[in-house]
Amino acid sequence: MAELDYKERFLIEKLFDMPTGYVMDFSNNTFQSFIYDSIKVNIYDDKYFYASGSKANRLRAFFTEEPSYKVGQLLTALLDYWHTKAIANENGFDFERDKNIYTECLKIAKRLKEEKIVEEIEVIKEKENDKDFSLLAKSIRESIDKNEPEAALDRLHTYVMKYIRQLCENHTIEIKKDESLNAIFGKYVKFIVSHDKIESKMTERILKYSIHVIEAFNDIRNNKSFAHDNPILNYSESVLIFNNVTNSIKFIESVEKTLKQENKKEETESADWEDLPF
């Protein structure tokens, strides 16, 4: 459900002329086509039926049923439509009269779109000198930007596999080509624990439990994603998986940053020692 307070709903409804039961000058067909073209949603799906089923009520139902980010996307598209009509002086659209409301609605749309469904999606990064890895990361982020996490579960699994394999190679952790994701992740966890990079027993237990979580990710990839001809996992659970995985990657990045700093310090001290005149 989108986080819209009374004032925000009032301004949106005022600008789009929703108290009439309509939404601007859309007909049923143009309303359906516009929303589908904008965000690939059928506004005449039963889930958006509310009271009379008018265009205004269907838009209100959309605000209630969908997350903030998705509502922000549609609101942005509708505001662009309103602005285009207003500057063209179309009948019923008055830019000078309503420009302050329009400006406030733009702020609302921007705020809604900033409420990301995956908080740490920035950890899914492109990588210099690795075109395949970069395309993979870009594709995953594009699915999240479109609010389609369920469509990217197979690629997220592939990304994590490549990411953990690279870490193991960096630390000369022996892995086999056919080992599963949870197996290589387990080896990496064992490495950072044995090198005293984890300060608390609780963190150690969380990481070790994460090995079992990653093992379950193998099943999701094989049986609930587009990796094969599968029924796809639902939206809410897909968001949960994305947030769990990206939070784990963020923590691993903090560990890797510490390791790099320590290695750099050791190299500097070693170079200083070798420079001594004896």
Q: What share of the chain is helix, strand, coil (3-state, %, to 5)?
A: 70, 0, 30
CA dist 68 and 2 (Å) reads 4
CA dist 155 and 160 (Å) reads 9
CA dist 15 and 102 (Å) reads 7
The residue ranges of the chain whose pLDDT is under 50 are none
* pLDDT of res. 192: 93
- Of the chain, the end-to-end C-alpha distance in Å amounts to 72
* pLDDT of res. 40: 85
Which candidate, 48, 102, 45, places its Cα nearest to that of 78?
A: 102
The answer to whether 222 and 228 have CB atoms below 8 angstroms apart is yes
CA dist 38 and 50 (Å) reads 22
The one-letter code for the residue type at 225 is: S
DSSP label at residue 176: -
* pLDDT of res. 276: 54
* CA 237 to the chain's CA centroid: 13
| Apex 218 CA angle, 165 and 152, nearest 5 | 85
Cα dihedral across residues 4, 40, 238, 251: positive or negative? negative
The answer to whether 245 and 217 have CB atoms below 8 angstroms apart is yes
DSSP label at residue 276: S
* pLDDT of res. 273: 53
Q: What distances in angstroms separate CA 92 from CA 19, 98, 134, 260, one per listed residue?
A: 14, 11, 47, 62
